[in-house]
Amino acid sequence: MTATKFSWDTEATRYDESRGGEARAEAAAEGLERLLPAGVRLLADVGGGTGIISRRLRREDRDVVVVDLTAGMLALAAQRLPGGRAVRATAERLPFPDASLDAITCVWLLHLVPDTRPVVTEFARVLRPGGVLVCTVDKDACHDVGSDIDDAIGDLHPRRGNAAGAAEQDATERIVDHGAAVGLEPAGESSFTAHLRGTSPASLAELIRTDRYQFWARRLAPVDRDGILSRLAALPDQDRKRPDPDFRLLALRKKA
Ligand SMILES: C[S@@+](CC[C@H](N)C(=O)[O-])C[C@H]1O[C@@H](n2cnc3c(N)ncnc32)[C@H](O)[C@@H]1O
């Protein structure tokens, strides 16, 4: 199949189904809840996409707003969180006053932005003192479950070998450093198992070929990409799903 240029707008309608659907959303929401303190009344889910996770964070006494850059993703989020709770904006410039939010959640966004420093700075601006950010970190690296598929990717895997093209901007230590510079201090860690559609050698090769695999793969030189595809093709059990990955969550609290 020919690769088409990736865009979040065209991805929107197949996003949920292709990223583990409600099972992943439920696991992610549970992971986020483990790190959210009591008393969160207003929460923004930034880079919240279709709102599949955000809607699970609502409570009788907690309002949730989804913020995302992409109109196509937000159109789906608006159905899940009606009443103006799906807002188009970038994580670098949020539509909230200073110190106005009790919490921010941010799943699978920080590995995508070109520079995490202004995003973390913006999060610190809109959180109230004592407010909490809970975000995924080390996203690309978490995909490495040590399976034969990961061995086929080998040293090109983020955090293995020289990891050319890996998205290091969401590395835990980097996010902690950015946070420390703007008054956010570590407040806990957790993880969730993402029940993905299942990664088999054949399904992964298809995602790479159609340019829909993780972002680091799109930065590979053609020779490296072809090498991965041929090593994947040589693996046994082409359609057998390998284990699901665990994704790390980090909480940072704004100093009171
Ligand atoms: C991998 S999806 C994650 C969606 C959602 N958090 C989830 O896990 O289901 C990344 C989302 O981030 C959004 N996005 C990318 N860059 C952004 C930015 N700079 N500011 C806000 N949203 C952004 C995309 O439109 C997309 O909806």
Q: How confident is the model at residue 230 (pLDDT cuts 50, 70, 90)?
A: very high
72: its two tokens = 């196509």
Give pLDDT, residue 165. Answer: 47
Ligand 1 centre and the CA of 238: distance in Å? 31
Ligand 1 centre and the CA of 200: distance in Å? 25
208 near 36, Cβ under 8 Å? no
Tokens 């990891």 appear where?
163
Q: What is the mean pLDDT of the chain?
A: 91
Give 132: exposed, middle or buried? Use CB within 10 Å, 0-12, 13-18, 19+. buried
Give pLDDT, residue 159. Answer: 60
Q: Which atom of ligand 1 is nearest to the CA of 90?
A: 20
Nearest CA to ligand 1 atom 27: 49
Express each pLDDT in 80-105 by its tens digit. 999 999 999 999 999 999 999 999 99
Pocket test for ligand 1, best of 68, 137, 214, 249 (most atoms within 8 A of CB): 68
Angle, helices 116-126 vs 172-181, to 10°: value is 50
SS3 157: coil
Give pLDDT, residue 1. Answer: 45
172: its two tokens = 């835990």
* pLDDT at position 192 over 80: yes
Domains of the chain: 8-144+167-198+243-254 (3.40.50.150)
Single-letter amino acid code for the residue at 197: R
Give pLDDT, residue 4. Answer: 61
Residue 180 makes CB contacts below 8 A (sequence gap 6+) with: none
Residue 34 makes CB contacts below 8 A (sequence gap 6+) with: 188, 190, 249
Residues 158 and 237: their CA atoms lie apart, in Å, by: 24
